Each structure stands twice: as structure tokens, then as C-alpha cells.
Homo-oligomer: A and B are copies of this chain.
Amino acid sequence: MPSGVHALVRRTHEERVLRALQENGAMSRGEIARIVGLSRTTLSEITGSLLQRGAIVVVDTASRREGSGRPAERLALDPASAQFMGVDFGHRRVHVVVADASHEIMASGATRYDDTTPWQERTALALTLVERLTAEAGVHYGALQGIGIGVPGPYPAPEGRPWPRTTPSGTVLRPAPEGVDVAFAERFDAPVIVDNNTRLAALAEAISGAESVADLVYVRLSDGVGGGLVVGGQLVTGSSGLAGELGHVTVDPAGRPCRCGKRGCLETVASVPAILAACWEFGLPLKDLRDLADAAARAHPVADRVLREAAGALGRVVGAATMTLNPAKVVIGGEITQLAPVIVEQVAATLGADLFPTASAAPVVEAARLSDDDGAIGALAAVFHNSPLLARYPETADVKAGAGAGESTIEGAAHVRP
């Protein structure tokens, strides 16, 4: 068998051993082998590797002897062993969260940096932050099952796009280098998933409600307009890392030039700078998002009209995406969405008109539950879902129900900081 399948089978076995120990407490190798259905040889390899990495510990030696003449050691999970790590590189800070085998968050922290800080230095700061968590919270990383890393911008950076780019507010956006994954993979000897952090936010939203949804369209309005898709429980990347770029769907072929080179993209009418500019144009000079929130709260006619037009364009784009993907939920993120509830209202109304009139299949439209600062939760969610037995999380509804583990669920982590 080729290495890809080999590694998958190996990780599946490891995860089943860890799960058996989580559910049953300390056990001898013989007991584990029987529960998991593996041969003694295969099981010994796996426990050997888990012991060496510090995921499990020998807790005692059972008095009763099994089979051979040697007393049987009993093995158990190491409670200080972090199993999953989520890292979110923002423009100006990195967040790290680590979770245990039951998906509970064990420790978290953040380090700020300047938005011109090069990637190599950001990576070093993040690794230092992880070490600090070791000292402060007493966790160790010998058995990490996976690391999720969120970065701004498409990842890997598609060829042919102009990098670095300047956002409308003047931030210089540099693509994350391929090296960010290698640095973490080498340091922790664990598989690493890197993805755009807006896309990871989509995954976090999909599992953050009372019931997780398998199909979700997420759009975030900020300096630009970004988005992410969850389809069948999986985060969608697309063939070249551009899936979910709803901000650059054309809404008016004769509209304003967009930084992407086209005209009349959704971003030219629905980003925060575009909305503020339109208000100025109609005689309402607003400085920033706070001013806009005040004007919206007073139902100022110009602010109301501009917001409704922006949200109408967004609704048409989301409507086409909804006809395409038939999601259960549409989530609109970005601070502006919290400040101006008219956006979600108008998106829902516009989108409704684009659906099958007779279908009861209209998605729920709502404002994001998690803040823009919650990218590390999304990164963590990504590694949970890439865990072999948990892949395609609708099936984990069974795991949750069956295990009866209360807070020790896949939603556990996402609920920590809603």
C-alpha cells in the first residue's frame, strides 16, 4: 500500500487507541488490543510510539498476569498532553489555542505584532507563545494529532495574483509562505493544515450553533469582502485555493473598478470602505464604522438606503450561491453586521426572492456568532474534522450521542468563546 493510505490507517489506529483509553480509563495492552480489534504486534507498535511521544503514560502494573510471564503494564492518557492546536495569524496578532483529546481547550494566548512584521518573525513569535503556554499551563505537545493554522489571504497563494497587495485601508497583505506549515510540522512532528482564516471562520460558524450544520455559506464584510464555504461537512478550498471568494462576483459590469482588476465586484459596493464612500457621495460624511453604526441606529435615510443597497447586492450573490449549494445556513460576518442589523434583514429578503418559491429549503440567514478574533477556534475545528474517524462531521453527531460525553463534544471547543 502507498504511504498515503498507510499513514491514514496508522492515524486511524492511533486515534482508536486514544479513544478507547479516553472512554475506558487505564487498560493493559491486551485489553486495548481486544477492544480495538488489532493484533498484538500492531498494537505494540502504536502504544510504543504513543508512549515515546508522551501521549500516554504507564500508570501501574496490574497484579494479575496475562498470557506471558511478565506482569501487564496498564496504560492511560496523559492529562497534560495537548492533542490539537489552533493558530490564527491575523494582520497584527497571533492567537494560539490547544485542546485535549476530548476537544476541551487546555490553554490559549495571543501575541501582538506590527502589520509589517515578516512571516519568519511571526512564525517565531507564535512558537515562543506556544512555549509560554507550556510553562504557564503545564501542557506538552508530544502527541499532537494535528495543527490548524489560519492565515490572511488565499493559501497557497495562487499564481498570477498580485502579491503583496494593499487593502483599501492601506494594510499591506503578504501571502503566507509555504514555510509556515513546515516550521510547525517539524517542531511538533504532527500533520498541519493551513488555510485562509476567513474560510476557517466559516467552519467555526458551522459548528458553533446549537446544532452544527454540514452546508454553510459564510461572507465577511470588512476592508474587503471575503468568504468561505462548508459543503457536506468539509471546508472547500477549490482547485487553486480561491473557493468562497464571493467578494469578487460581478454585481454590476459597468460599476466601479475593483482592486482585482475587474469592474463592479460585490466588494466595490459591500465592503466597509465602499459603504462609507457611498454615504459621503449621498451627502452623509461618516468617519468610520462607529459613525455608520450611529447613523444606522438613528435610521438615517442615506445610511439606511446605502446599507440596503449593499445588502441587496450581497443578497443576490448569496442567492446564486444558495441555488448552487443549497446550504442550511448563510452567515454574514464582520463587525459592521453586528452594528447594522439591517444588513442581515435585507440579505434574507433579497435571497428569499431568488429561491424556489415552493421549496421549504430557504437557508437560515444570520449574523456571525464568533468574532473576527476567533480564527484560532476555526483552525482547531479544521483539525478536529480532519481527524480520520471524525472526518465529515455529520457522522460525529452519532459519536457525540453515543459517547454521552456531555461537554466533551466536538462543539465543546467552539462554545468556549462565543
| A54 → chain B closest CB, angstroms | 24
Interface set, chain A 226-250, CB cutoff 8 A to B: 229, 231-232, 234, 236-246, 248-250
For residue A320, which residue of chain B has the nearest CB?
B320
Identify A356's interface contact among B40, B243, B260, CB under 8 A: B260
Please, how many angstroms separate the alpha-carbon atoms of A104 and B243 in the complex? Answer: 34
Residues of A in contact with B, size category: 35 or more
| A205 → chain B closest CB, angstroms | 15
Cβ B358 vs Cβ A239 within 8 A: no
Cβ B356 vs Cβ A229 within 8 A: no
Contact with B along A73-110 (1 / 0, CB 8 A): 00000000000000000000000000000000000000
A39-B39, A260-B357, A399-B2 are known contacts. Are A236 and B245 too (CB-CB below 8 A)? no
A124 at the interface (CB under 8 A from B): no
Query: Using Cβ atoms and an 8 Å threshold, which residues of chain B touch A229?
Result: 324-325
Binds B, one of A135-143, A158-166, A167-175, A367-375: A158-166
Cβ A246 vs Cβ B38 within 8 A: no
Identify A4's interface contact among B19, B324, B395, CB under 8 A: B395
A254 at the interface (CB under 8 A from B): no
A158-B359, A158-B361 are known contacts. Are A325 and B238 too (CB-CB below 8 A)? yes
A58 at the interface (CB under 8 A from B): no
Cβ A361 vs Cβ B239 within 8 A: yes
Query: Using Cβ atoms and an 8 Å threshold, which residues of chain B touch A320?
Result: 249, 317, 320-321, 324
In the assembled complex, 11 residue pairs joining A and B whose CB atoms fall closer than 8 Å, in A order, are A9-B16, A34-B41, A158-B359, A160-B359, A215-B238, A231-B236, A239-B328, A242-B361, A243-B326, A244-B326, A249-B320
Q: Nearest 5 pairs between A and B by C-beta?
A: A238-B326, A2-B402, A239-B328, A261-B357, A37-B42
Q: A38-B42, A158-B359 are in contact. List 20 more A-B contacts (CB 8 A).
A: A4-B399, A5-B389, A5-B395, A5-B398, A34-B39, A34-B41, A37-B41, A161-B358, A213-B239, A239-B326, A239-B328, A239-B361, A242-B323, A242-B361, A244-B326, A245-B326, A246-B324, A262-B356, A320-B320, A320-B324
